[in-house]
């Protein structure tokens, strides 16, 4: 029986300290130490740590859910491991083995099981990190790395129906540059979006839509989520150019849209002006799964405006969230049991 006092009905997306976190260390060309499970809490690192000075680090994000039958499941954790591996290569950090990653996450979820919300009350958000924690004064890869994973219970993204979000296309700030690190979950990618996002909120929008840095014309992402729209009955999303983060939700949506809904899907450059021709639009990521877009404006001019959730958007949301909770057939083997 759980001895943890959490108000399951009032969880939000915020940090709740839990029981244990997982940690392992590695020298630049050495092997990772066996993963240790230690009490959740502060860590001590050198003031000259690579992550503190030069932002050498990345994160991942996934969640554990409870099913109707009280099983505990993860969604495609191997994809997070692979994406982390790609990020480690780009950021000159040693790779953390994929099988070890999945094994560690499962063990950590079990150890913090008292913090996993009941069925449909939210999820246990899992946040793995890899960062340069060795001391280095010059700009170069750190001599030592830390793999750290912590978890936190979070509430369901939508409480009582999906809510439509209001977005603003901006052209004076970009998220990622060609040949930069936009395609990996580098910690340093996220701070540059905070100022435009804050400004958009002050203007009454939920988030910004970033355009590509080279042409300042093609849609890239919505804050830190992938973008989709329906144009002439074709589910359309920006192609992965290297500046767009390859979302696992994005990939899952493309797959089920083709296989289960028999939809035509296109991954291509989307000129921002094309949103005027869209019948539906949404953004996606682990947190909300799918978040329907109500309106899109550019320089105060509304280019897309809907007052209800689109049919394809709703169908994809229901289908994907049911697969994730084992309430719909999963021919892909995406869902993995922890318990």
Ligand X SMILES: *Cc1c(COP(=O)(O)O)cnc(C)c1O
Catalytic residues: 185
User: Which parts of this chain interact with ligand X (CB under 6 A)?
Assistant: 61, 185, 221, 224-226, 245, 247-250, 285-286
Q: Which of 188/279 has CB closer to ligand X?
A: 188
Q: Are 230 and 285 in contact (CB under 8 A)?
A: no
* Min CB(223)–ligand X separation in Å: 8
Q: Are 71 and 300 in contact (CB under 8 A)?
A: no
Q: Which of 23/320 has CB closer to ligand X?
A: 320
All residues at 6 or more sequence positions from 194 whose CB lies less than 8 Å from its CB, including other chains: none
Q: Which of 72/224 has CB closer to ligand X?
A: 224
* Min CB(58)–ligand X separation in Å: 10
Q: Which of 26/174 has CB closer to ligand X?
A: 174
User: For the chain, what percentages of helix, strand and coil (3-state, to nearest 5) are there?
Assistant: 25, 30, 45
Q: Which of 127/199 has CB closer to ligand X?
A: 127
- Strand pairing of 335-337 and 36-39? unpaired
Q: Are 227 and 281 in contact (CB under 8 A)?
A: yes
CA angle in degrees (0–180, nearest 5) for 20-25-30: 155
* Min CB(190)–ligand X separation in Å: 7
* Min CB(167)–ligand X separation in Å: 14
* 3-class SS of residue 45: coil
User: Alpha carbon 237 to chain centroid distance?
Assistant: 17
All residues at 6 or more sequence positions from 140 whose CB lies less than 8 Å from its CB, including other chains: none
Tokens standing for 170? 């901006």
* Min CB(129)–ligand X separation in Å: 13
Tokens standing for 171? 């052209």
| Partner residues linked to 223 by β-bridges | none
Q: Which of 20/60 has CB closer to ligand X?
A: 60
Q: What span, in angstroms and rounded, lies between the C-alpha atoms of 147 and 108?
A: 13
* Min CB(193)–ligand X separation in Å: 8
Tokens standing for 313? 């958007």
- Angle formed by the axes of helices 248-259 and 311-324, to 10°? 110
The phi and psi torsions of 179 (rounded to 5 degrees) equal 65, 10
């Amino acid at each position: 029986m759980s001895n943890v006092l959490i108000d399951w009905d009032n969880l939000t997306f915020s940090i709740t300290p839990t029981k244990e976190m997982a940690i392992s260390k590695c020298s630049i060309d050495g092997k990772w130490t066996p993963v240790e499970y230690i009490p959740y809490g502060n860590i001590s690192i050198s003031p000259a740590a690579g992550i503190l000075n030069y932002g050498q680090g990345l994160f991942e994000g996934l969640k554990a859910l409870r099913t109707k039958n009280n099983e505990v499941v993860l969604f495609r954790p191997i994809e997070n491991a692979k994406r982390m591996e790609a990020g480690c290569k780009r950021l000159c950090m040693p790779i953390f083995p994929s099988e070890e990653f999945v094994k560690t996450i499962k063990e950590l979820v079990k150890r913090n099981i008292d913090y996993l919300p009941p069925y449909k009350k939210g999820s246990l958000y899992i946040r793995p990190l890899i960062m340069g924690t060795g001391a280095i004064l010059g700009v170069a890869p750190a001599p030592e790395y830390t793999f750290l994973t912590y978890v936190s219970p979070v509430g369901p993204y939508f409480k009582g129906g999906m809510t439509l979000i209001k977005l603003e296309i901006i052209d004076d700030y970009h998220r990622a540059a060609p040949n930069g690190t936009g395609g990996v979950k580098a910690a340093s990618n996220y701070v540059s979006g905070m100022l435009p996002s804050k400004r958009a909120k002050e203007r009454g929008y939920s988030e910004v839509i970033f355009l590509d840095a080279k042409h300042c014309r093609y849609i890239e992402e919505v804050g830190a989520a992938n973008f989709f729209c329906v144009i002439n009955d074709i589910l359309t999303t920006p192609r992965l150019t290297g500046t767009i983060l390859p979302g696992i939700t994005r990939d899952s949506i493309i797959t089920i849209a083709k296989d289960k809904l028999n939809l035509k899907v296109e991954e291509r450059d989307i000129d921002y002006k094309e949103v005027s021709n869209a019948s539906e639009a949404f953004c996606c990521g682990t947190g909300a799964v799918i978040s329907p877009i109500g309106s899109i404006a550019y320089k105060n001019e509304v280019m897309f405006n809907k007052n209800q959730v689109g049919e394809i958007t709703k169908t994809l949301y229901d289908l994907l969230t049911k697969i994730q909770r084992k309430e719909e057939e999963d021919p892909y083997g995406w869902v993995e049991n922890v318990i």
